[in-house]
Amino acid sequence: RQFRKRVLMLKLAPVEIQNFKDVYEDMLEQFPACEMKDYNTFINLFEQGQYKLLSVVDDNVRIGYLLLYESSVENVLWLDYIAVFRQYQSKGYGRMIFDSLINQFNTYKGIYLEVEKADESVINTIRRIKFYKSLGAKKLDINYFYPNKDGCIDLDLYFLPFCKAELPLKEVSFRVIKDVFNALHKELSHIDNVYCKITGQY
């Protein structure tokens, strides 16, 4: 009962673009350089409207943030980044954030998650996969690659359905990936090559 009360207190609030600088500085500390976009790229994405920066707030205290893309082709979300500020980590906020996300965006079919492959030598990869699976996320049968300025990174793609929605068909996921790549990574000259690598069109 106490847990349910805390979930209801958690809010996902839009952040003004001019306040993104503090979030970006935290991102530089928490995310690998190979997964980061430059500052101006983020600003351009926010101005397009479908890319959202949300602050995670618990009882008027900012404890983290989400960056997600609202895809118009299949009425789904794409999680680009999620983080809890270091001083609030390991306090059970991860599940609460996703409960709040599902509640606030319940008109969507679900959300795609880019996940590092399991590596027994890196315990956080194992923990992260177990966490996403515990939420109900399923690994998709797709040979996925995350595009970056140096080429691409071999990752797994998961889907967390909302409101008992079914997992998307492969061709549906390909359409979403194409939409996401065109929106979030269009500055990369090799983006079409990465997409072809994913769909097996080589």
The stretch 128-135 carries a mean pLDDT of: 94
The string of pLDDT tens digits covering residues 54-111 is 999 998 999 999 999 999 899 999 999 999 999 999 888 999 999 999 999 999 999 9
The string of pLDDT tens digits covering residues 163-184 is 877 899 999 999 999 999 999 9
Measured in degrees and rounded to the nearest 5, phi and psi for residue 20 equal -75, -25
Q: Would the pLDDT of 2 be above 70?
A: no
Q: How many CA atoms lie within 13 A of 56 on its CB side?
A: 24
Classify 60 in phi/psi space as left (phi over 0), alpha (psi -120 to 50) or beta.
Answer: left
Identity of residue 146:
Y
Residue % of the chain over a pLDDT of 70: 95
Q: How many CB atoms lie within 10 A of CB 127?
A: 10
Look up the pTM and report it.
0.91
- Indicate the Cα dihedral angle 18, 112, 198, 45, nearest 10°: -10
